């Protein structure tokens, strides 16, 4: 009797599992046929893996339901942890997960842009660990890697990573979980980068979605004054889903999340698939909508208090931000269409952007790099990762506090690192790709350094959330120092 009951229960759980999400044309759909709009929260309480703490997931998922969240974004996970309980908890709460496949020691970094076997293997581990959960909505191959026109030389590596992760997913027979990129909102770069990620005839090389981290809507703005009308213009005929993978200007407080009204309203909801709000936990950078307790001076690594903020326990809404966001989402009535009724019209392949010096330095017909293929200039550069260490200033103890933004400013610091390391290599005038994975150790350690640097950097809240178009913190510094290497790589890519 008991066994019967148990198997019945097991059956019921199966049946009640959450519908999966897939991309069709420029929209996301549940397999039940309904269009899906992201109402998400950036969720990274602890550095390594917030999806490995079942008790905490339960406490947070319950409050997220009150908020009206249907998604979380997690920037760093560890493939070797058990995620069953947290994933089930979020699934039971109707919450999907958007998972970054890269982490501190696997980021694609700009000083040696590379997509190689070692990174591929680590990304695969994360996909292997998560693909089976029905509430995985999508995977990111990178976050805010490219922050200026000159950085565009790194874009082919990101697109190659997406190509290979999609191919791996399909070869393994995994569900078609969308694979995409999370971009910084850099005015000079955005339209070209956005088009590049979706361009070309070969669907196996295009991303499944594109997403944007935008901090340009501050305080009482409108669709026009905020700059969102520009974002809309550039996305109108975009052939794959596009959404905001972070939003959350906090320079005017309290936050009222007025941009949600635009995103889910008539101006944008026919094009955009929603937004992820930066971020759940209140910490040093002051973006949180909940708190686990007042700031405290304790800096005890390994305890639940890091960077002065408690990171476990019962979440308490921060007022009025929590309520404001909740009411924005409750009022959202996006234009939607059912999967059956939706016939994508913008199906012609998007033209790849033309090479434009200083703005888009990848020629329209340059093939994507193969796995392990990288610019000689990068492989022959001296590895002065000490540059990165200097910038990190030894504050690697502030590890958890910066996680989400760490990822953002990650790239600021990766770039700073790149300016020091490639500074030395700017005389190297190698051209052409070399097929060498032999320096993958050096690569790994160099990106590891950058990731420490990034954590340190996000101690400065301003640098991490710099609004897009004015995004000096990432773009400016490295530009000159990297120029030599950039020029070499641009040459290569233009071939
Ligand atoms: C789990 O993987 C991480 C890297 O993601 C590693 O640092 C850690 O040592 C591993 N833990 C175990 C128990 O293998
Ligand atoms: C993006 O939109 C702006 C403003 O309308 C326009 O000037 C620009 O040409 C667009 N870029 C692309 C690539 O569509
Ligand atoms: C961040 O910006 C605010 C307002 O511009 C300024 O008052 C504050 O000092 C800045 N903080 C840091 C750490 O630079
Ligand atoms: C959009 C929204 O909900 N705004 C509210 C945010 O909170 C303040 C303070 O409670 C209210 O006055 C706003 O109406």
With a 6 A CB cut-off, is 444 part of the ligand 1 pocket?
no
Question: Does 228 lie in the same domain as 318?
Answer: yes
Q: Which atom of ligand 1 lies at the shortest distance from residue 122's CA?
A: 5
* Per-residue pLDDT, 112: 80
If phi > 0 it is left, if psi is from -120 to 50 it is alpha, else beta; for residue 26 that is alpha
Are 141 and 166 within 8 A, CB to CB?
Answer: no
Are 447 and 378 within 8 A, CB to CB?
Answer: no
Q: Looking at the annotation, which residues are catalytic?
A: 144, 246
Are 277 and 283 within 8 A, CB to CB?
Answer: no
With a 6 A CB cut-off, is 80 part of the ligand 1 pocket?
yes
For residue 466, which ligand has an atom nearest its CA? 3
Kindly state whether residue 469 falls inside one of the protein's structural domains. Answer: no
Question: Does 120 lie in the same domain as 232?
Answer: yes
The DSSP letter of residue 307 is T
Q: What one-character-per-residue DSSP string does 272-306 give?
A: EEEEEES-SB--TT---SEESSS------TTSSEE
Question: Does 418 lie in the same domain as 380?
Answer: yes
Q: What one-character-per-residue DSSP string does 22-41 give?
A: EEETTEEEETTS-EE-EEEE
Are 316 and 292 within 8 A, CB to CB?
Answer: yes
3-state secondary structure of 88: helix
| Ligand 3 midpoint to CA 467 (Å) | 14
Kindly state whether residue 9 falls inside one of the protein's structural domains. Answer: yes
Are 456 and 395 within 8 A, CB to CB?
Answer: yes
| Ligand 2 midpoint to CA 191 (Å) | 7
Q: Select the more confidently predicted residue: 182 or 375.
A: 182
Using CA atoms, how far apart are residues 463 and 466, in angstroms rounded to an integer?
Answer: 5
Predicted confidence band of residue 322 (pLDDT cuts 50, 70, 90): very high
The answer on pLDDT for 476 being more than 80 is no
Out of 4-18, 43-57, 480-494, least confident range: 480-494
Question: Does 111 lie in the same domain as 245?
Answer: yes
Kindly state whether residue 361 falls inside one of the protein's structural domains. Answer: no
| Ligand 4 midpoint to CA 459 (Å) | 29
For residue 194, which ligand has an atom nearest its CA? 2
| Ligand 1 midpoint to CA 78 (Å) | 7
Predicted confidence band of residue 10 (pLDDT cuts 50, 70, 90): low
| Ligand 1 midpoint to CA 81 (Å) | 8
Residue 454: which H helix or E strand, with range?
Answer: helix 440-457
Using CA atoms, how far apart are residues 216 and 465, in angstroms rounded to an integer?
Answer: 10
Kindly state whether residue 210 falls inside one of the protein's structural domains. Answer: yes
Kindly state whether residue 355 falls inside one of the protein's structural domains. Answer: no
Domain that includes residue 182, residue range: 2-347+446-453
Q: Which atom of ligand 4 lies at the shortest distance from residue 319's CA?
A: 10
* Per-residue pLDDT, 486: 40
Q: Which atom of ligand 4 lies at the shortest distance from residue 323's CA?
A: 3
With a 6 A CB cut-off, is 122 part of the ligand 1 pocket?
no
Question: Does 172 lie in the same domain as 84?
Answer: yes
Kindly state whether residue 494 falls inside one of the protein's structural domains. Answer: no
* Per-residue pLDDT, 374: 73
Question: Does 396 lie in the same domain as 329?
Answer: no
How many separate domains does the chain show?
Answer: 2
Tell me the torsion sign for CA atoms 433, 436, 441, 444: positive
The tokens of 343 are what? 């016939």
Name the closest-CA residue to atom 8, ligand 4. 320
Question: Does 288 lie in the same domain as 186?
Answer: yes
The answer on pLDDT for 409 being more than 70 is no
Question: Mean pLDDT, to the nearest integer, of 61-78?
Answer: 98
Name the closest-CA residue to atom 10, ligand 3. 462
Q: Select the more confidently predicted residue: 478 or 225.
A: 225
Pocket residue to mutate for ligand 2, from 234, 346, 355, 356, most atoms within 8 A of Cβ: 234
Angle subtended by helix axes 190-198 and 228-235, to nearest 10:
30
Question: Mean pLDDT, to the nearest integer, of 121-136?
Answer: 98
CATH number at residue 93: 3.20.20.80
| Ligand 3 midpoint to CA 462 (Å) | 6
Instruction: Give the model confidence (pLDDT) of 11-39 as tens digits.
Output: 444 445 899 999 999 999 999 999 999 99
Predicted confidence band of residue 429 (pLDDT cuts 50, 70, 90): very low
The answer on pLDDT for 255 being more than 70 is yes
The tokens of 355 are what? 């090479």
Using CA atoms, how far apart are residues 177 and 137, in angstroms rounded to an integer?
Answer: 6
Using CA atoms, how far apart are residues 112 and 128, in angstroms rounded to an integer?
Answer: 27
Using CA atoms, how far apart are residues 316 and 308, in angstroms rounded to an integer?
Answer: 17
Task: Say which residue the tokens 């590895």 belong to.
Answer: 383
Predicted confidence band of residue 6 (pLDDT cuts 50, 70, 90): low
Question: Does 392 lie in the same domain as 286?
Answer: no
The tokens of 447 are what? 């990106």
**Residues recorded for the chain:** 495
Name the closest-CA residue to atom 7, ligand 1. 78
The answer on pLDDT for 447 being more than 90 is no
With a 6 A CB cut-off, is 187 part of the ligand 2 pocket?
no
Q: What one-character-per-residue DSSP string does 320-355 give?
A: THHHHHHHHHHH-------TTT---S--SPBPPPPP
Q: Which atom of ligand 3 lies at the shortest distance from residue 459's CA?
A: 13
Instruction: Give 16: exposed, middle or buried? Use CB within 10 Å, 0-12, 13-18, 19+.
Output: exposed
Using CA atoms, how far apart are residues 369 and 358, in angstroms rounded to an integer?
Answer: 21
What backbone phi and psi angles, to 5 degrees, belong to 179? -120, 130
The DSSP letter of residue 369 is P
With a 6 A CB cut-off, is 253 part of the ligand 3 pocket?
no
For residue 237, which ligand has an atom nearest its CA? 2
The DSSP letter of residue 350 is B
Question: Does 202 lie in the same domain as 108?
Answer: yes
**In whole numbers, what is the pLDDT of the chain averaged over residues?**
78
* Per-residue pLDDT, 302: 57
* Per-residue pLDDT, 111: 80
Helices (H), 226-286: 228-235, 258-263
The answer on pLDDT for 494 being more than 80 is no
Kindly state whether residue 459 falls inside one of the protein's structural domains. Answer: no
Predicted confidence band of residue 308 (pLDDT cuts 50, 70, 90): confident
> Helix, strand, coil proportions of the chain in percent (round to 5)?
40, 15, 45
Q: Which atom of ligand 1 lies at the shortest distance from residue 81's CA?
A: 1
* Per-residue pLDDT, 109: 84
pTM to 2 decimal places: 0.77
Kindly state whether residue 89 falls inside one of the protein's structural domains. Answer: yes
């Amino acid at each position: 009797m008991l066994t019967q009951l148990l198997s019945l229960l097991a059956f019921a759980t199966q049946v009640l599992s959450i519908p999966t999400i897939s991309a069709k044309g420029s929209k996301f759909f549940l397999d039940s046929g309904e269009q899906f709009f992201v109402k998400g929260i950036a969720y990274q309480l602890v550095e390594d893996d917030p999806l490995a703490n079942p008790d905490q997931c339960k406490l947070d998922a319950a409050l997220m339901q009150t908020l009206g969240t249907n998604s979380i974004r997690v920037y760093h996970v560890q493939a070797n942890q058990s995620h069953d309980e947290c994933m089930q908890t979020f699934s039971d709460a109707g919450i999907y997960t958007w998972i970054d496949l890269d982490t501190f020691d696997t980021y694609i970094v700009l000083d040696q842009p590379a997509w190689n076997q070692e990174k591929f293997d680590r990304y695969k581990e994360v996909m292997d660990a998560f693909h089976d959960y029905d509430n995985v909505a999508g995977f990111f191959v990178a976050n805010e890697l490219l922050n200026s026109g000159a950085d565009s030389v790194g874009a082919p590596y990101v697109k190659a990573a997406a190509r290979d992760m999609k191919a791996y997913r399909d070869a393994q027979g995994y569900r078609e979980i969308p694979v995409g990129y999370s971009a910084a909102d850099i005015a000079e770069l955005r339209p070209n980068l956005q088009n590049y990620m979706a361009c070309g005839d070969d669907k196996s090389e295009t991303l499944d979605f594109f997403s944007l981290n935008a901090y340009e809507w501050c305080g009482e703005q409108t669709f026009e004054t905020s700059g969102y009308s520009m974002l809309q213009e550039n996305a109108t005929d975009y052939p794959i889903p596009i959404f905001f993978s972070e939003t959350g200007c906090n320079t005017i407080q309290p936050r009222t999340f007025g941009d949600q009204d635009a995103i889910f309203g008539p101006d944008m909801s026919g094009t955009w698939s929603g937004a992820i709000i930066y971020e759940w936990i209140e910490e040093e950078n002051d973006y949180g909508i909940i708190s686990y307790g007042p700031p405290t001076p304790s800096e005890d690594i390994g305890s639940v208090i890091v960077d002065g903020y408690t990171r476990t326990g019962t979440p308490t809404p921060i007022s009025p931000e929590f309520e404001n966001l909740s009411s924005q989402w409750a009022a959202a009535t996006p234009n939607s269409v059912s999967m059956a009724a939706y016939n994508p019209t913008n199906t012609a392949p998007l033209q790849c952007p033309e090479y434009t010096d200083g703005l888009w330095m990848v020629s329209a017909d340059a093939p994507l790099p193969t796995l392990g293929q990288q610019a000689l200039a990068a492989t022959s550069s001296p590895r002065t990762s000490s540059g990165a260490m200097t910038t990190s200033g030894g504050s690697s103890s502030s590890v958890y506090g910066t996680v989400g933004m760490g990822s953002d400013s990650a790239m600021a610091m990766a770039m700073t690192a790149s300016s020091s390391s490639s500074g030395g290599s700017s005389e190297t005038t190698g051209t052409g790709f070399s097929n060498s994975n032999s320096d993958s150790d050096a690569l790994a350690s160099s990106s590891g350094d950058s990731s420490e640097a990034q954590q340190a950097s996000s101690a400065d809240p301003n640098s991490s959330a710099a609004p897009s178009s004015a995004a000096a913190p990432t773009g400016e510094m490295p530009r000159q120092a990297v120029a030599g290497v950039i020029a070499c790589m641009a040459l290569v890519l233009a071939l």
